[in-house]
Structure 1
């Protein structure tokens, strides 16, 4: 990085560090303020809970001493008197329920004696508040009512107050008034029992969920006492709590503060959404971004002025550049004239080279006709078989194929003759896929004879180009035959020879790859494999002209023929041909062909 870039970035880095420090300081101050508010609210809510407890704490004691309620324990006939007394006491004290139980835990009188959910006759001897009161202690217990289904705080006293208990007087306090007060205050508060189970909450969905994992013994106790009826105790936090100051519930992170109530091991919890605690960060980072943007704009304005000064200096030098450009233009024109002369010289040399190769064509004719002749022999043999079997449809098809082969042999002879005069080759618009299929049809007997597999991968869309159809098929036929021979020679014993032909379009060119799993082409002969009369198949009578002719045809058609290592392990010959020309290039090509046709025959 250059010094100028460092100087430009350094203020932004310092501003970012300062923003981080200020943000950290602001968050800590906000956390302190949030914790202070939480402590004040927890103190208030704690006093509210204890106030409700103290308000009703005396009531079971008074009922236990009043004979209007306790007489029913000795005289069941006093049941109605006890019921009316308890009903009136509940109405005056606004308690949820008042009821009297005998020493066996059966309810003998209740304030709701006239309702469908009357407690009379029901046994609650398994409740801890009853068991504590029967021992002469003050019973205190929070639970969900087994009959009413409403949660509440149960306070119990033995009766008589002194001596052997004959029964238990119970008051049930409705604690839902606390939840309504929390909810109306818009604050997130909940209370947990000594086991960490939420039993009061401003958010109703959080009730009867636990803030900690419960031991099996606790779960057994909850099941035995039916403290929370049939509620399924689940985990409240959606993620493991690693910090006492934060808790995640339903995917939202909260700032967490808690305080002990001082009653039955209860604990109050006060939550503040974390985004409220970190709300000042938006303002801090927005200000920092604004300052950074202002700095960048200032730098750009300064750079703009510097560029204008540089532009003025460039205008002073423009006159010299114009003069230099004029001299360069003259030199370019001279070079173009020399290049045109060079092109004409090269074209003359190319014609001379082709004429020198005419002497090789007599051998090439025999070489290139061997493959169609082999296919012709197979078609004739097949036709005889089909005639013997009376399969006239197959005979007709074979005769059509034989007719096509003789046309091809005539065209092949004509194309080989045109080798010395490439301008005489017929250029037409063809789909390269059809050329490939025709070549495969002729080469198929060689693959069947050598037991070599052939895999062809062609695109679904046409590969259209302007070229000499039969010359392209001649090249493809040579490549397929050589690949089949190479694969068969390398896998003569196993019969695992394989050839893969792939055709695709790359930019404006069309590529055809013929790969085999033969022995490949070593680096020392790769450079001379396209030379005339060079062959690696001396034992099979190869003339060494197929690849030489194929390469010359590819170059005459504006393409290339190269050899690489195949992914199958053998050799891969890649034929590259130009795609369709645009309008301007087509006009230039037509003019060149016209000029060549007007040259005198040699």
Structure 2
């Protein structure tokens, strides 16, 4: 029996419309999924860039204050007083070499006001900086002009690339020269490569100088005019000619992401990538390249799943129209297909999230390593309180154990606050400051070390004025300074029969003075001038890195204050933290009037 011609035409038209609908749905699903994939790529890329930027900043921040600290060192000051004194030069060279080894920087050196290197940590090597003139370097020019300099270049003497931080040395209003630290950022490139990221750093001239791919270094991101390229090559910043071939050829924008072709060595095409840019200091830009193929594969999977779902739905409708008896069997097949598509989609999503999370955790572990020194003392105190609580619970002293738990909670909160400083580094901040009452800060610091004080049978003498004193500071950082001074005082009395810890708070003119004194062995005169130098310590190996007082000194100077020390060998030492006083009464009165 032949199908009537109108019916055949109707069936043909219906089939064509169904195929067109399936193709339209598949294309629409692909476009929407691809847009969603790029949006997700943008969010994840921004998070990744922020984390990489914070890791870069944390690496540089370790050395940011080193040139300024170096300019205050006695061997360097002695060298500038008589640059022709051979003994002063030898002492400065040895000091720079020792400090460089302790700080793990690439090189340390000092220049006179003409740019001539007077002393360097590599004075005993063939590539010694001593005697070379670096007045042509931007970091010297900037330091002499503005007080500080920052510059990335390939060393003119060593041929090794590095990031240079410089600081002008001034005495009595006269410029003596410039202190410079060279940082090796090669470990960052290795970390980027090991994490599987395509990451690069572009300078203000559009030239790549750090990259996870070696063949991208010293090439422009985008084409650079020949005249400008000739000017850059004449500056010899990178010790070699800049390869004119760009590493990226943009083609289009999608979801505010630039899409284009990445190129490797010999201009070989690497594939289609999405470029995301994170601005950094000095006009630098952090670049992240994401493979577009991943987003396309994910969108294709979603489109195929959508098409299959639509085909299954149409088949169900068709089968229901043709054979009502087969509805249940077809629906079951449809359900199985839907479930398998959903399971496959969910599996792909979990795999992607796992890969992204692994990469984030790898970089986050490196970034968090910078706060290990800051949380060491609170963590030791927390362990001590845990041990004390166990003893109290065995004695059934529940109330004292509960009090310990409150203190442990407080310590944990302060540790969380310390860890939060990593985010402040990422924003290039030094910490929020406010009008802080000083007596509670000292109380918290003493409470943190109370177990050690009790355990070592130390007598504590406290003095404080009747009226509260306030200062503009960050309470967590200021408490860390007091804890460090208290801990050092306790350590100093470890082998003494008479153990008296004196903690005084007072006012002197417009300054508040926090005094921490001990009856320990005291400090020999030759060590006093080096107390606040980085990595200087008189403790046994393994008991300290020699960074506590240096970090405390930097915190107090940040608050506009100073740390002074008085010591008599055999009688003890007294450290004084002097910081400006803030009068908060007008603020309180104004708040009461407004209320």
TM class by shorter chain equals 0.3 to 0.5
TM-score (norm 1): 0.46
Report which of the two structures shows the higher radius of gyration computed on alpha carbons. Answer: 1
TM-score (norm 2): 0.47
